[in-house]
Structure 1
Amino acid sequence: MHTSARTVLPLVVAGAALVMAGCAPEPSASDGADGTDGVGAGPSAVSCDKGSLPAKGRGKLTVGTDKPAYAPWFQDDDPANGKGFESAVAYAVAKSLGYGKDQVVWQTVPFNNSFSPGEKKFDFDINQVSVSAERKRAVDFSSGYYTVRQAVIALKSSPYAKAKDIAGLKKAKLGAQIGTTSLDTINDLIKPEQKPAVYQKNDYAKSALKNGQVDAIVVDLPTAFYITSSEVKDAAIVGQFPDVSGEAERFGLVLDKGSPLTSCVTEAVDGLRKDGTLAALEKRWLADAADAPVLK
């Protein structure tokens, strides 16, 4: 049986169109002031109906965070008590997904492990993880649930406590937790003359500050307020840093790369933003985080 050229051509074109459609990139959300950050939406076929999500545990939602779980993000080192901004956000997201408080299981996940490559044992992780292009190569993120700035803390007796701008910190010995945007702020924005000290946890950075091993440390602004008010009372916030990249830094919930839950979790976060829940939780738990001079 012979096939005419007139018949073959449409078949070839149609086949090529199918191949091209299969290779075309999925459209992504645009970055905007609503906190979407251009995150991937995840597989669109997944139903977000309550109780039908393909979570890690049957009838349970597994949420990861580091230990210790610091205030003001958590209270009393107990993520499960619902106190602190991130604990409250996690339970609000869980509720939006159809899970009651007794159906949320907390899992200890070291900060750097949360966004490292590889399959995760949690459904989502919440631990002040900033959304970035580099991290999105290894994991998915929800839309942003909090817009944050970095801040620098010094002992009140230090000459660097009186710094009025970034140039005033150039000669300081600075410290920050490894793998954080706090460390990026030191290296990329402050660019100090001395190599910064790098710590596995903020607790170690705080100890170094108290012991005089560093002149100042960089942390996110709400953490800076908590440290100076409750943990290192002879320290003060020197100031906060402006957004210099043109894009606000946002914390997002971390999920497996290609997780079927990404679109549903993002939908939940977006809903909490739109109905005012995130703003109310921020006001309750992070009320002081707006008052600090901006260092330029």
Structure 2
Amino acid sequence: MSRAQRNTNLAAVIIPLLAFFAAIVLLWNKVVGWNDLLLLAILYVLTGLGITVGFHRMLTHRSFQTSKAVERTFAVLGSLAVQGSVIQWVSDHRKHHAHTDEEGDPHSPHAGFAGGGVKGTLKGLFHAHVGWILTEEGGAARAQYAKDLVEDRGMRRISDNFHWLVLLSLAIPAAGGFALSGGSWKGAATGLLWGGLVRIFLLHHVTWSINSICHFVGTRRFDVDDHSTNVFWLALPSFGEAWHHNHHTFPRSAQHGLKRWERAMDPSAGVIWALERLGLVWNVVRITPERQAEKTLTQQV
């Protein structure tokens, strides 16, 4: 990783963090209104689904097929989440699946941290949550892990223009705040703060929690050779990604929630179902109960 890329990633971690503390500690009930929270909620959902439905289930794992227009729409939405360019994100995540919790996994809390006691555990969790962004992000060979996207001119264009999409991710809530406040520059500033920086901070840490928490604590019921877990209380804010053990057992499944009550807490699967009903996606991968039973541990832990 170059120094410029490391500094950019560091800024992407620190600036939303500082904005979050400024917003919560200093500005709550002073310069936040319903317009700001509305922008935060709408953009959190849209950009979050851009990551979970777009970057993850559609582009990384090809859990369903769709048109180029739908692919590129979700690729743009995912880019607005400011978690890296689409080709970089997919490359890193495919590498994670190729080396899960072993040497080569870019963000495992276990690989390289075994036997370290409490100190090693904390180091592993920090690395999996945020430390890897400063050392490993973008390290996966794109030609190896995301050749299909590298060869797609539209995806290359979206990926190469990621920096402009970051600016757009901030400009949209600022413009929205300006419009909703009747042309107030204060409205633009608070829209930028809450709908932009605070939203990016929240979505970052929910996504990163899948890397850290969902490889450390939680429940398991399938026979897989990694440390992935299901964490129910993260399911809704992560749009179903926290059924992470299920996902590592059946990576191509469009549904990460496999039990009926888990599916109720997998909004991404619901969006895919709705798109399927509209004829916008097809060949959706779902796992039969029989296949699940084949992988289920005799004694669940």
- Give TM-score scaled by structure 1 length: 0.23
Higher-Rg structure is: 1
- Give TM-score scaled by structure 2 length: 0.23
Higher helix share: 2
Q: Whose relative contact order is higher, 1 or 2, with alpha carbons under 8 Å and at least 6 apart? A: 1
